[in-house]
Structure 1
Amino acid sequence: MDVHVSLHGRGDLAAQVYRQLLDAILDGRLRSGERLPPTRELARRLEISRNTVAVAYDRLVADGFLVGRAGAGTFVSAERVRATRSAPQGVVRPRAIWRSMAAEAPASTHEYDFRVGVPDPRLFPMETWRRLVARELRTSLAGYADPSGHEALRDAIARHIGISRSVRAGADDVLITNGAQQALDLIGRVLIDPGACVAVEEPGYPPARRLFRSLGARVAGVPVDGEGIDVTAIPNTVRLVYVTPSHQFPLGTPMSLARRAALLAWAERRRGVIVEDDYDSEFRFGDRPLEPLQSLDRAGRVIYVGSFSKTLLPMLRLGFLVAPASLMPALRAARQLSDSHGELSTQAALARFIDEGLLARHIRKATREYAARHALVVDTLTGDDRLRLVPSVAGLHLCARFSPGVSVRPAPRLALERLDAYCGESPAQQGLVLGYGAIQQAEIPEGLNVLKEALV
């Protein structure tokens, strides 16, 4: 173990070595059983006599914090270690906006997991993925790269979304990100001035709302009806609108073609920007998908955002954006300032995964499974007059509104998400958002029975 010891002045050096090693043991930096460097080596690095280090070691042995083993060295004693490592409490405070935000713990220990946006990792071809990543790790070159991301992946994504979603893009129009959230962050950095007003759907995607607020924007929630966002309700001061038209989050309804045309007309009239998050669009169980806003846009006012977090695995942190050429230089610069270019071997592996047809195969397989779970949730809840299901034909979740006077009491066995958690305006809408990606098909009926018992 390369122990850091910093000596000051020419006072009692043995005492300084003793105190710093003791602090490292007490706060857990040096753990039970770890071997300390030989006295000769540490003395050489500190440019002091070996006897000085030996005195410090002997004192720690006498106090029971170290133990010497003949022929092996000096080790931290298991009996005396108590890990209490922590940073100073400090007096520095974050900006006011961050005092109302906290990181969320994503894990669930509930028996029936109806969390939203969690795909089933058992459907992912992990062995194939390991093979692809291992191949790239053997062949990838070290060094910094294009902030737009791996060129082969940008080309593969452009072809994939061109075929599957009719998005008009080439490799130069694509920028790879660490998930959709980083894409939104880069867009906000480039386009949102502090104090500007940004419109989001109501109810809508909370991480987007919080992100825009963190950048200093005023966020206005715009009502969503059966056709999508109410364009006539967008405030006059808004110049950027964030929408999920393919599968509105969290309600699940697609934006109608007429409403898409109205939103594009708003953008041209107001010289605004539309951020189109193609949330959950890959898993479709019926109905032909409508054209994305990006493919209908002729003025270059739509930024298309996509992610592989739901399609593949959230841990891969792979997403992308497709932007007009006028914005790409700024977005590339923002990405470079943010984290340079991301993890290239993973990006290269995904490029092969797409090019070899493995992504399309995985989507077909996963869609069949999620379609069965979707149908099971609908069949089980249909007929219960306490819940009104919102029609949906895609994605990994369903929304159910409470009938008047209905609520749900805490159910320790269930991981549930309430609709009001997705609302930023008052009064909040009441209901549940039920994910079926994390729960196995065989567990759904019993889990929904537990839910029904919790409805009051």
Structure 2
Amino acid sequence: MELHISLEGRRDLGGQLYRQLSEAIRSGRLPDGQQLPPSRLLASQLGLSRKTVSDVYDKLGYEQLLVGKVGVGSFVQTPQTKPQLRPGDALLASSARLARWEALAPPLAHGPRSELARYAFIGGRVTPALFPHDEWRRCVQTALRQERGERGNYAPVAGLLALRTAIAGHAAFTRGIVCTPEQIVVTNGAQQALSLLAHTLLEPGDVVVVEEPGYPMARQLFEAMGAHVVGVAVDEQGMVVAQIPDGTRLIYATPTHQFPLGMPMNTARRQTLLERAGQLGAIIIEDDYDSAFRYEGRPTDALQSMDRHGLVAHVGSFSKTMLPELRMGYVVMPAALVRAVQAVKHLTDWHAPTLMQLALARFIDDGHLLRHIRRCHDVYAGRRERLRHWFDGPLAPWFALVPATAGFHAAALVHDHVPLDVAQLLRIARRADVGLQSIAPFYHGAPNRKGLLLGFGAIDTLDIDAALGILLGILQDMQPLPA
């Protein structure tokens, strides 16, 4: 690849070369350690004498912007000061829009594992060691062989038929989903599924209902589309359907395992939600983010399985059952939405990577996914029991766990009569290497309850006892029990 240098005219060619290389190094366009072409080669490419190029390299070396290595070449040496971004000269017509995006606080953003506390109860994270890496590697290798004959071609917008067929069978078996492969669109994670549905269904000013508290990334996405987002309270049965206002166009809900509190929506409430959506002509987005892990009671099918009028778009994710970095999800749509959502998908990113689709299809068809879920289920069930032991026992004077039957996070609410400063508790716990998360950020308005979100997907079972023992000591210091 040639180094981009643009010389004009016939005068001061060495000066032009020096200024362009110096600016490229100081601005960071040429990164630290980048090897420059040999002086003879660059001189030939630019039509200069080799001496001119060598003199420029020597000057940059004197200024410590280049370092020469005998027998190897010349390498960029970036100055210690960081390059400054050049301010824009023009006032952009979209500057107000840019400012709104810049002011958007990214929700649920976690740093790398190295920055987490030793004992971290982080929602949505899994234990990578539980993943069957050998089986997945074999599926990827098979996919590479399958893909060999199709390289250079774009794939179907909705996703490869093999994967959509595998997903339809898996969803029917595990969640009671009633669909055909033609109703499925494969997405880059559940978040893209939400984005596709929002782009397809919403216009500025449309009313969208979300749970309060709820998933902040869904709320912010709908608001970014210009929708008027209304938070509807949840009770022990989930979303309070009676509060859904007239004129609602879209309803976002987590019926199986409410996020973040965790309670399931019972059958009667689900039926009421479907009836209300039918009255409004509203689409319900059912976010089924971690329902694969169920611990007690009779299995509950997805809300989509109760839908008789084409109102429910069921969003599923493999981030919680496999690994989040795979970025694989899907949406099962009512027939009326299929063509429109596919058109939006085509315009945004065309299709998900085919290699991952082929590998995932094989992973599902060979039974690896179900076996992996069963193994994780046993581990998560044990961790859940340790949480219940502590919050039903030593920690019960301060907290009460919200009853939940699925997933791998739980919410512990502070008793109304306990004047506990949760923010202070989190700070003290972090200094003791215990990472806790408040439920406050999941409220759009002022929280009406205080509590903790306890993700147990990424913390070892033995570490739960150690961490909650530390938490108990902190609580006894902060808020001693009455004698």
TM-score where L is the length of structure 1: 0.94
Q: 1:185 aligns with which of 192, 195, 201?
A: 195
Whole-Å separation in 1 of the counterparts to 2:177 and 2:103: 37
- Deviation string 1:78-130 (CA, Å, 9 cap, x unpaired) is xx743624533446535254244133541242121001111111111122222
Q: 1:399 aligns with which of 387, 411, 428?
A: 411
Partner of 1:98: 101
Q: 2:228 aligns with which of 189, 200, 218?
A: 218
Change (3 A) 1:180 1:67: closer
- Deviation string 1:51-70 (CA, Å, 9 cap, x unpaired) is 43233223223444334445
Whole-Å separation in 2 of the counterparts to 1:218 and 1:59: 60
Partner of 1:369: 379
Whole-Å separation in 2 of the counterparts to 1:19 and 1:198: 55
Change (3 A) 1:63 1:385: closer
Give the match's secondary structure for 1:198.
strand
What is the alpha-carbon root mean square deviation over aligned residues?
Answer: 2.0
Q: 1:299 aligns with which of 309, 315, 318?
A: 309
Give the match's secondary structure for 2:330.
strand
1:128 maps to a residue whose letter is E
Q: Does 1:207 align with 2:217?
A: yes
Q: Does 1:35 align with 2:35?
A: yes
Q: Which moved more, 1:25-34 or 1:163-172?
A: 25-34
Change (3 A) 1:151 1:11: farther
Whole-Å separation in 2 of the counterparts to 1:32 and 1:264: 59
Partner of 1:271: 281
2:440 maps to a residue whose letter is D
> Kindly, what percent of the aligned residue pairs are identical?
45
Change (3 A) 1:317 1:83: farther
Q: Which moved more, 1:407-416 or 1:359-368?
A: 407-416
Shift of 1:73: 3.0
Which aligned pairs between 1:12-31 and structure 2 lie closer than 5 A?
12-31=12-31
Q: Does 1:134 align with 2:141?
A: yes
1:436 maps to a residue whose letter is F
Give the match's secondary structure for 2:336.
coil
Which aligned pairs between 1:99-248 and structure 2 lie closer than 5 A?
99-103=102-106, 105-107=109-111, 108-140=115-147, 141-248=151-258
Change (3 A) 1:388 1:62: closer
Whole-Å separation in 2 of the counterparts to 1:166 and 1:185: 25
Whole-Å separation in 2 of the counterparts to 1:156 and 1:293: 20
1:130 maps to a residue whose letter is R
1:407 maps to a residue whose letter is D
Partner of 1:389: 401
Give the match's secondary structure for 1:146.
coil
Whole-Å separation in 2 of the counterparts to 1:99 and 1:23: 28
Whole-Å separation in 2 of the counterparts to 1:94 and 1:132: 47
Partner of 1:58: 58
Change (3 A) 1:94 1:284: farther
1:438 maps to a residue whose letter is A
- Deviation string 1:353-373 (CA, Å, 9 cap, x unpaired) is 000000000000000000000
Whole-Å separation in 2 of the counterparts to 1:264 and 1:52: 77
Whole-Å separation in 1 of the counterparts to 2:300 and 2:51: 79
What is the number of equivalent residue pairs in this alignment?
A: 454
Q: 1:435 aligns with which of 455, 465, 481?
A: 455
User: Are the counterparts in 1 of residues 247 and 280 from structure 2 also a CA contact under 8 Å?
Assistant: no
Give the match's secondary structure for 2:3.
coil
Give the match's secondary structure for 1:200.
strand
Change (3 A) 1:101 1:375: same
Q: Gaps (5+ residues) in structure 1? A: none
Give the match's secondary structure for 2:20.
helix
Q: Does 1:446 align with 2:466?
A: yes
Whole-Å separation in 2 of the counterparts to 1:259 and 1:144: 43
Q: Which moved more, 1:175-184 or 1:416-425?
A: 416-425
- Deviation string 1:364-422 (CA, Å, 9 cap, x unpaired) is 00000000000101111113221011111211111111012233322222221111211
2:421 maps to a residue whose letter is S
User: Are the counterparts in 2 of residues 26 and 82 from structure 1 also a CA contact under 8 Å?
Assistant: no
Q: Does 1:88 align with 2:86?
A: yes
User: Are the counterparts in 1 of residues 292 and 407 from structure 2 also a CA contact under 8 Å?
Assistant: yes
Q: Does 1:287 align with 2:285?
A: no
Whole-Å separation in 1 of the counterparts to 2:274 and 2:67: 73
Whole-Å separation in 1 of the counterparts to 2:369 and 2:442: 30
2:420 maps to a residue whose letter is V
2:398 maps to a residue whose letter is R
Q: Which moved more, 1:222-231 or 1:346-355?
A: 222-231
Change (3 A) 1:439 1:37: same
Partner of 2:332: 322
User: Are the counterparts in 2 of residues 27 and 82 from structure 1 also a CA contact under 8 Å?
Assistant: no
Shift of 1:425: 2.9
2:80 maps to a residue whose letter is R
Q: Gaps (5+ residues) in structure 2? A: none
TM-score where L is the length of structure 2: 0.89
1:401 maps to a residue whose letter is L
Whole-Å separation in 1 of the counterparts to 2:345 and 2:338: 10
Whole-Å separation in 1 of the counterparts to 2:29 and 2:281: 56
Change (3 A) 1:256 1:67: closer
Whole-Å separation in 2 of the counterparts to 1:144 and 1:334: 16
Shift of 1:135: 3.1
